[in-house]
Structure formats: C-alpha cells, structure tokens
Amino acid sequence: MTPLVLGFDIGGSLIKCAVVDITTGQTRTEPIQVPLPQPATPTAVFAELRAALGREKWHGPVGVGYPGVVKNGFTLTGAHLDRSFIGLNWLDDLRKLTAQPVALINDADAAGLAEIRFGAARIFAAPDAGTVLLVTLGTGIGSALFHGGRLLPNTEFGHMLMGEREAEQWAAGSVRIRENLDWPAYGARVGRFLREMEKLVSPDLIVVGGGVSENFALFGPHIDIGCATVPAELGNRAGLIGAALAVTEE
Ligand code: BGC
C-alpha cells in the first residue's frame, strides 16, 4: 500500500485535513481547515470530505477521525454533531469517497495513535510498555488509553461526572474561553480532572492534547498530580495524522 493517506479530523467547529506519510507521521501537505457545516448532518459532513478530496485530487486511502464513539463503522454518539449521526453505519458511506481503504476512528483515539507512534508517548509504544492516557482538551474532552502500546478504544472519560457536571463541561478548552478562566484557574480544573483519572487508571504518563495544549507552559504548572504529565508533540495535527494511521489498523 502507498504510505500516503488523506487524514481528516472532524472537530466541534472545524474539519481539518492533510496528506500524511504514515511511515513517518509527517504531513505532506499543509493542513487545510473548513468550518464544520451547520447543521452537521452526515450528508453535509460527507459533502465537505468529498469536496476536500476533489481539491486535493485525491484517489488514495482515507482516514477519518470522528468526535464520538465509533464501533465497527457505526457512529454511536456525537455530542457536537447532528443527531442523525447516532446509530449510522457511516463507514459504509465513507467508502464511497474512494476505491482505496477507508478508516473511521474516534478523534481522541486517533490523536493518541499519532502521539504513541510519533509523538510525546513514543517510548510507550512497545508491547511491554506501561499505561498511557491522552486527553484532548478542545470543544469537548476526548480520551485515549493505551497499555503495552495497544489502544483500548472509545474510553470517553470526558463524560465522567465531576459533581453535577461532566468533565468536558467543566475543563474543556472551550469552557476556559466561555467562563473566561485565567491559566492558573484552568490548570487547577484540568488537574482535578486528571487526579480523578489517575485514581481510576494509574497511568505511567499523561499526554495533554487539543488546541489548548499549545499553551501548556501557562497552565501545566498548575496541574497538581503525581503522574508525569506532558503536552502533545504533534499539536493540532495529531488527530488527522492518527486518523491516517488508522487505515493500517483495519
Ligand atoms: C466525545 C468524544 C470526543 C471528544 C473530543 C466528546 O464529546 O464524546 O468522543 O473524543 O468530545 O472531540
């Protein structure tokens, strides 16, 4: 198979895509981003993906990161998308994009795959490696859990209840902006969430991803936990790189 895959990352407000060399994890084209259509129905999002393939003149394999639970090609949740995604075999539709292999994977799981193969968690890729937790702090909170380099998909820790609110309604990157939190206050919230996670899964490393991780230096020092906690290395590209990598997992 060609090592080049078109990777998509469908987020809460944008769709990003780029051609990825899956042998190196490098993007081969400058990532392009378009607004997520509103309402974000399966047909409207599919049309955006097809338009991107047209723009890139792309006929090769495609990997798609989706912001919700994905099982066997079915999109089972999607808090920031139109309800008509729920219970849909969207992979069947996506296969109409190209005659080449197509993968559909949760967006945070995709970012985790990219970070464990090529980024901040790469020393945890071996079969005898410990537990890595990646969280993405964006519109929502996504999570990816690895042990021995293997992914346990669809962990959805962002929906854990913290008091009355789900963690993602309390510590997502979007909440920092909405509630106008300063960096220390935001770091303290992320720390409280990660302390709960630490109790539950005893990670050896926590990787913090999502748009806000670019500012890790500002809020990271306020995350008060025992486990080593580092920012994602692949930044905003991790999701689309990992979605491309997922094609080889099919
Ligand atoms: C979804 C997750 C997703 C995360 C980040 C959450 O609302 O349930 O599946 O990974 O947002 O997009």
79 — pLDDT class (breaks 50, 70, 90): confident
Give, using CA atoms, the residue closest to atom 6 of ligand 1.
Answer: 140
Q: What is the pLDDT of residue 236?
A: 87
pTM equals: 0.97
Residue 63: pLDDT above 60? Answer: yes
Q: What is the pLDDT of residue 250?
A: 55
Q: What is the pLDDT of residue 226?
A: 94
Q: Which helix (H) or strand (E) holds 109?
A: helix 107-118
Mean local confidence (pLDDT), 162-176:
96
What is the Å distance from ligand 1's center to 149 Cα?
21
Q: What are the E-state strand segments in the chain?
A: 4-10, 14-21, 26-27, 32-35, 62-66, 70-71, 74-75, 88-89, 102-106, 131-137, 141-147, 150-152, 161-162, 165-166, 205-209, 229-231
Q: What's the token pair of residue 207?
A: 């990787």
Given a contact cutoff of 8 angstroms between Cβ atoms, the answer to whether 94 and 49 are in contact is: yes
User: What is the distance between the alpha carbons of residues 167 and 42, in angstroms, rounded to a whole number?
Assistant: 27
CA neighbor of 18 nearest in space, from 72, 55, 45: 55
Given a contact cutoff of 8 angstroms between Cβ atoms, the answer to whether 7 and 65 are in contact is: yes
Q: 95-143, pLDDT tens digit by residue?
A: 999 999 999 999 999 999 999 999 999 999 999 999 999 999 999 999 9
Give the mutation target among 64, 86, 107 for probing the ligand 1 site: most ligand atoms within 8 A of CB.
107
Q: 210-226, pLDDT tens digit by residue?
A: 989 999 999 999 999 99
Q: What is the pLDDT of residue 249?
A: 78
Given a contact cutoff of 8 angstroms between Cβ atoms, the answer to whether 154 and 109 are in contact is: yes
1 — pLDDT class (breaks 50, 70, 90): low
